[in-house]
Amino acid sequence: MRRLPLVVLLSCALVLVAGASSSSAGFSGAKAKAWAGKLAALGQRPAGGRHERQAGGIVRRRFEQLGYDVTVQRFPLPEGGRSLNVIGRTPGRIRVIVVAHMDGMPGTRAANDNASGVGVTLELARRLMTKRGVLLAALGAEERRHTGAGWHLGSRALTRSLSPEQKAGVRLALSIDMVGVGTTLNVRGLEASPNRSARRLLNAASRVGIRASYLRDTGQSDHDDLTRGGVPAAWIEWRWDPCWHQPCDQIHRLRPWKLWAAGKVVRNAALRVVG
Ligand SMILES: [Zn+2]
């Protein structure tokens, strides 16, 4: 009876080490958290503000460093001012789209929502830079409660910039949003049953041995505007975070192994398409 807790502790430690270490072959949860920390350290990042722009600068420099072809989309906000998307592409027809919003609700550091998603995206960028047909984006102005818009403005601007031919070529599209806190890994979508992007993520999760389940949602992240704009998309999220939109949404709460698990699933799904 006494041995059981030790075994449990050892397996937990192994999982933590696997998730947090920076193995050269795998996805590093620790590095994803370090990127998230850079964004959270800027301060509050409401859409249209200086810190959102600075977050965009961090992403742009990293994409450029890795050799992505980078464009910055700027778009107006309903209350005035402008927000931005930073988009990195590899050569070839777009097959995979991965987005994460970098803006946050005022009054919070927006570490889990959603520096966590941007951190995972930046770590994925290192893993996907040699593949053709990849579009990664850090989006602005996702938080509708702040922008007062009926849309997720960044993903709407991105989706509208794609031609019908480009949309038709996409095989996997997803939003990484809130992936550092919570007990359940969910793949989410607007549909009653998983669309093709959600299916690809769920299949990837089972291939890599990470438990994930489908949970329908009403469009609470950027997959909403991608899907409505003609690119069937999914949202990957760890749930639930009691500090959502609260001042306690701080970087120390992000667990590297949760970032690692989300990143591993997305990477596996993406490599099935562009690998
Ligand atoms: Zn979010």
Torsion, Cα of 238, 258, 54, 131 (10° steps): -100
C-alpha angle 108-109-111 in degrees, rounded to nearest 5: 120
| Distance (Å) from CA 101 to ligand 1 centroid | 7
| Distance (Å) from CA 176 to ligand 1 centroid | 8
pLDDT > 70 fraction of the chain, expressed in percent and rounded: 91
Q: Note the pLDDT of residue 26.
A: 82
**Across 214-240, average pLDDT:** 98
- Burial class of residue 129 (count of CB atoms within 10 Å of its CB; 0-12, 13-18, 19+): middle
| Distance (Å) from CA 3 to ligand 1 centroid | 42
| Distance (Å) from CA 34 to ligand 1 centroid | 18
* Per-residue pLDDT band at 25 (split at 50, 70, 90): low
| Distance (Å) from CA 177 to ligand 1 centroid | 5
| Distance (Å) from CA 126 to ligand 1 centroid | 23
**Across 128-136, average pLDDT:** 98
**Across 189-199, average pLDDT:** 98
**Which sign does the torsion angle of CA 158, 90, 95, 202 carry?**
negative
Indicate the helix (H) or strand (E) that contains 158.
Answer: helix 153-160
CB 135 within 8 A of CB 88: yes
Locate 274 and state its tokens: 């562009």
If phi > 0 it is left, if psi is from -120 to 50 it is alpha, else beta; for residue 43 that is left
